[in-house]
Amino acid sequence: LNYCYGCHSLQYSRWGRVSKDLQIPEEIFFDNLVFDKSIKPGDLMIGSMSKEQSAQWFGVAPPDLTLVSRVRGDDWIYSYLRAYYEDSSKQYGVNNLVYPGTAMPNVLMALQGNQKLVCKDIPVIAKNGGEKRDDFGNTITKEKCGYLKVDEGSGELNKEEFDSLIYDLTNFLVYVGEPAKAERERMGWYVIFYFLIFTALSALLYREYHKDYHK
């Protein structure tokens, strides 16, 4: 929330519902995540930046994120947030492999560090699936570009910590896209169990009726 809510909104979610579902005491939740003290637990999570302002600054209004996980999918979100790289030709100095030309700045750069597109020498694969080798037994390689690499020590988090952060953020967006999903899946097992019992009883009842019919 601290990184995203300044521009984006979650206009179909309510502060109190999120606090309750995430099992965060309301006092702690509002003290640390809600800086506008006029906001009430029942209020919708509407961003503070107007569409007119954001369109003027970024060229396009940042989308509401409530349903982004249902539109794009969790894999897309996770990959997108990790795929920013340095590109001096762009307005904000960054681009994105998953969504080229994105208008969103890399707001997580301080955490991840400066990521660049690099080239690597990779083995040439033979028709039999093995690596090609020259007459001296050395692996034959070719240069391939388009790999992402973070400048070591340029971010506050290491790779594992940053990936974990993005994993948690992705799960949060999946949750707000369907807050009742966990409860729905839990209830689903009871429904399936009910139908199994109902089917078994119906089969037994049918057998009894069938006996009477053929007497």
Q: What's the number of CA atoms in the CB half-sphere (13 Å) around residue 143?
A: 3
Residue 11, domain extent: 1-66
Residues 125 and 156 in one domain: yes
pLDDT in tens, the chain (215 residues): 778 888 899 999 999 999 999 999 999 999 888 888 889 999 999 887 888 888 788 788 889 999 999 999 999 999 999 999 999 999 899 999 999 999 899 999 999 999 999 999 999 998 898 999 988 889 999 999 999 999 999 999 999 999 999 999 999 999 999 998 888 888 888 999 999 999 999 998 888 887 766 65
Query: How many distinct structural domains can be found in the chain?
Result: 3
The sign one gets for the Cα dihedral 73, 74, 76, 81 is positive
> How many Å apart are CA 56 and CA 54, to the nearest integer?
5
Strand partners, 146: none
**Same domain (yes/no): 89, 159:** yes
Same domain for 187 and 139: no
Global pTM value: 0.79
Check if the beta carbon of residue 79 is closer than 8 Å to that of residue 130: no
- Of 15, 35, 66, the residue that ends a domain is 66
Residues 111 and 198 in one domain: no
